[in-house]
Structure 1
Amino acid sequence: MNLEALYDEILSGKTAWATIPDRALWKVTGADRVRYLNGQVTNDVAALAPASAIYAAILTAKGKLLGDLWIGASEDALWIDGPASEKESLETRLRRFLAADDVEFERPVGWTLTRIFSASDLTFPREAVAFRSPRFGLRGWDLWSPDTTAVQLGLPVPEALLDSFRLEARLPQWGAELQPGDLPQEVGMDPLAISYQKGCYVGQEVVSRLHHIGHANRSLVLLAAPPLSERLPIGAPLCQDGQEAGKITSVAYSFARKAELALGIVKRASAAPGSRFQVGGSVWEVIEPLRAA
């Protein structure tokens, strides 16, 4: 099956799967786990229902990004996945404010993350944990399972198609749009990963002040190519009036638009839909996401 046919099958509701590499897993137990973790991340862990997951950021006290997290809830634990490249610093940060809290962090070894695209309820192995989430901008399940319990449901999804889904929803990815030290509102994590109604957490003062009083200096934008444009290189400069206004961070082909898409981080003044950038010999335009996450 070619990629376009597979794309259409998944959007029509067919079950499909993909292995997601480069994510580290933590299991969090103890009576204080929800209260403690809610004070560490940007999203509202207290509102999390069993068998569901939310997206969040974990920050320094100055509001700078340390990692992006997906947090899922089972009946007796919270399960966190974050970038494997940052696992040691994340482990230290997650434990930093533990005192008399009844909270235990465990890092399961030899587990694999499989993304299952399906809007239906599914049956998974007893050894696995599964959470509904909008990862990649589509409904489905994040399934963590021991490596000895392979889970492959439906059609296999190649990485190129994952990139198409992610870009169409204008979602950032660690190592591309997201880097240590970023402000989360400047790199596309607002609103999916941030709650402005929850209680206090580390870095909240900076995030709240930026939201209510100030403004982000940069923004993540989705860019559409002219017909028959060639794929842009990562890092290509985005120029306006002969001046660099940002850079390309991700590229993918969109089967919805039948053309190339790109994500870029640009100056706030240049981020409105309809803004145009010169990239090499072509002009790319800022557009709204093709679907909400």
Structure 2
Amino acid sequence: MTSAGSPFLALPGAVDSAAADQGVPAHYGNPVAEQRALLAGAIVDLSHRGVISVSGADRLSWLNSLTSQSLTSLAPGESTESLLLGVSGRVEFDMRVVDDGDTAWLLVDADELPALLAWLLKMRFTLRVVISDRTAEFATVGSIGVSNAVLDAAAAAPNGVALIWRDPWASVSEGGHQYAQVVDHPGAEWLWRETLVSRESLAALADRVRDDEVGVAGVLAAEALRIAAWRPRRATEGDEKTIPHELDWMRSAVHLSKGCYRGQETVAKVHNLGHPPRRLVFLHLDGTDNVLPKPGDDVVLPAQAGAAVGEPDVVGQVTSSAIHYELGPIALAVVRRSTPVDPDLGVLSDGIVVAAGQEVIVPPEAGSVVGRIRRMPRLGVMRR
């Protein structure tokens, strides 16, 4: 069974997604109401996503040597996130990782699976690891909250531990670092989970939705809540130049004091001595013209004095956008580091400039951590 045959697409009102999420419902007729349903316990079909298993005695130490997160002490049932970087520190793959004591399970976006699988197979050497594509056996289903009775009961547990990935974005992971300079991070309320269920049980889950035993929401609802949580996703916020610092991904996917891995030199250098060339921002969009900017639309500054009409200063691009049930039109965008933080921005979409209020996620001064003077609140002394 493939994601194109998802039984959720046969539910009333289901509309197929496009691009990276094609093969599962984008919505069921009301994406905004579905956000509330998702927060209240509804489930999201993510069965188009890829699943890779890595078993064997060396699985965690091997993955630890290749990726950005510390994985050697990952306990059964514990979740984390790790990035596979290129030699120059650019993000090539994002992996959601949960281990069951016997096997490490890597949950990945559909378009990343073939290349990631091929790369992992190439890097096995003589280590005791067995790598397999398990997408045909297991489907991913999303939800929000510390538990979900329907999914908890349906969760696959081939080695006795339920395969439930809990997003670490809600707090700064051990060994990580947050660039966002806010007291109340919106990610603190992002209690996202991805549960693996057997492919054979996916139709039964759809039947429970049809029988009103559990609510359902489309991918657009999940994306709107993700954007509001400032949560990056490689399929949307990433490109071939992305480094973790630009998206505040040091918060959940990078351990700054673990051993050597490909791309570590760039990660350390930018964090300790430099600045990322671009930065992630959250945008509150003006909905007056009923235009929702699309990914790829240019983010612009107001025209400079003397500049020709129709030639705004392009500083970046929208990466994700949505209509949020409380905040209205919102977006994430990646802009160049030098973009001023004070003035409102604009988004050039469908021939008009949509006003965009900016919330700074990654500040221009992010990085250059070494040598900063910090005050110790309790002792009242200065330290470097």
Class of the TM-score when normalised by the shorter of the 2 chains: 0.7 to 0.9
Q: Which residue of 2 aligns with 1:281?
A: 353
1 CA distance for matches of 2:319 and 2:58?
39
- Structure 1 residue 236 and structure 2 residue 297: aligned? yes
Which residue identity lines up with residue 146 of structure 2 in the other structure? A
- Structure 1 residue 130 and structure 2 residue 159: aligned? no
Q: Which residue of 2 aligns with 1:60?
A: 86
Q: Which residue of 2 aligns with 1:189?
A: 249
Task: Trace 1:142-153 onto structure 2 (pairs within 5 A).
Answer: 142-150=194-202, 152=205
Which residue identity lines up with residue 246 of structure 1 in the other structure? G
2 CA distance for matches of 1:252 and 1:126?
30
Which residue identity lines up with residue 167 of structure 2 in the other structure? P
1:168 to 1:271, Cα distance in 2 relative to 1, 3 A: farther
Q: Which residue of 1 aligns with 2:19?
A: none
Q: Under a length normalisation based on structure 1, what TM-score does the superposition of the two structures give?
A: 0.86
**How much identity, in percent, do the aligned residues show?**
21
- 2:145 counterpart (118, 121, 126): 118
- 1:141 counterpart (193, 204, 207): 193
String of CA shifts for 1:47-97, please: whole Å, max 9, x gaps. Answer: 433223212211122212211110111121100022322323212322343
1 CA distance for matches of 2:143 and 2:292?
28
2 CA distance for matches of 1:180 and 1:26?
23
Q: Which residue of 1 aligns with 2:128?
A: 102
In structure 2, the residue corresponding to 1:199 is in which secondary structure? Answer: coil
2 CA distance for matches of 1:253 and 1:35?
42
More helix by share: 2
2 CA distance for matches of 1:285 and 1:36?
44
Q: Which residue of 2 aligns with 1:168?
A: 228
Task: Compute the displacement of 1:145 (Å).
Answer: 2.2
- 1:252 counterpart (322, 325, 329): 322
Moved more, 207-216 or 21-30: 21-30
Task: Compute the displacement of 1:169 (Å).
Answer: 0.9
Q: Which residue of 2 aligns with 1:41?
A: 67
Unaligned 5+ runs, structure 1? none
Q: 8 Å contact 1:221–1:271 — kept in the other structure?
A: no
Which residue identity lines up with residue 266 of structure 1 in the other structure? V
Q: CA RMSD in A?
A: 2.5
Which residue identity lines up with residue 91 of structure 1 in the other structure? L
String of CA shifts for 1:181-207, please: whole Å, max 9, x gaps. Answer: 422222442322211122221211111
In structure 1, the residue corresponding to 2:268 is in which secondary structure? Answer: helix
- 1:69 counterpart (85, 95, 119): 95
- Structure 1 residue 208 and structure 2 residue 268: aligned? yes
2 CA distance for matches of 1:9 and 1:157?
7
Task: Give the greater-gyration-radius structure (CA).
Answer: 2
Which residue identity lines up with residue 237 of structure 1 in the other structure? D
Q: 8 Å contact 1:40–1:94 — kept in the other structure?
A: no
Q: 8 Å contact 1:133–1:140 — kept in the other structure?
A: yes
Which residue identity lines up with residue 7 of structure 1 in the other structure? Q
2 CA distance for matches of 1:163 and 1:43?
25
Q: Under a length normalisation based on structure 2, what TM-score does the superposition of the two structures give?
A: 0.67
1 CA distance for matches of 2:123 and 2:337?
35
Task: Compute the displacement of 1:159 (Å).
Answer: 1.9
Task: Compute the displacement of 1:174 (Å).
Answer: 3.2
2 CA distance for matches of 1:214 and 1:288?
19
1:214 to 1:97, Cα distance in 2 relative to 1, 3 A: same
- 1:199 counterpart (259, 266, 271): 259
Q: 8 Å contact 1:223–1:264 — kept in the other structure?
A: yes
Task: Compute the displacement of 1:38 (Å).
Answer: 0.7
2 CA distance for matches of 1:82 and 1:65?
14
1:221 to 1:271, Cα distance in 2 relative to 1, 3 A: farther
Unaligned 5+ runs, structure 2? 1-28, 170-186, 209-213, 305-311, 362-384
Task: Compute the displacement of 1:140 (Å).
Answer: 4.3
1 CA distance for matches of 2:163 and 2:55?
17
In structure 2, the residue corresponding to 1:94 is in which secondary structure? Answer: helix
Which residue identity lines up with residue 131 of structure 1 in the other structure? I
Task: Compute the displacement of 1:4 (Å).
Answer: 4.8
2 CA distance for matches of 1:268 and 1:118?
35
Q: Across the two proteins, how many residue pairs are aligned to each other?
A: 285
1 CA distance for matches of 2:89 and 2:101?
31
More strand by share: 1
Task: Compute the displacement of 1:132 (Å).
Answer: 4.0
| Structure 1 stretches of 4+ moved >6 Å | none
2 CA distance for matches of 1:211 and 1:142?
30
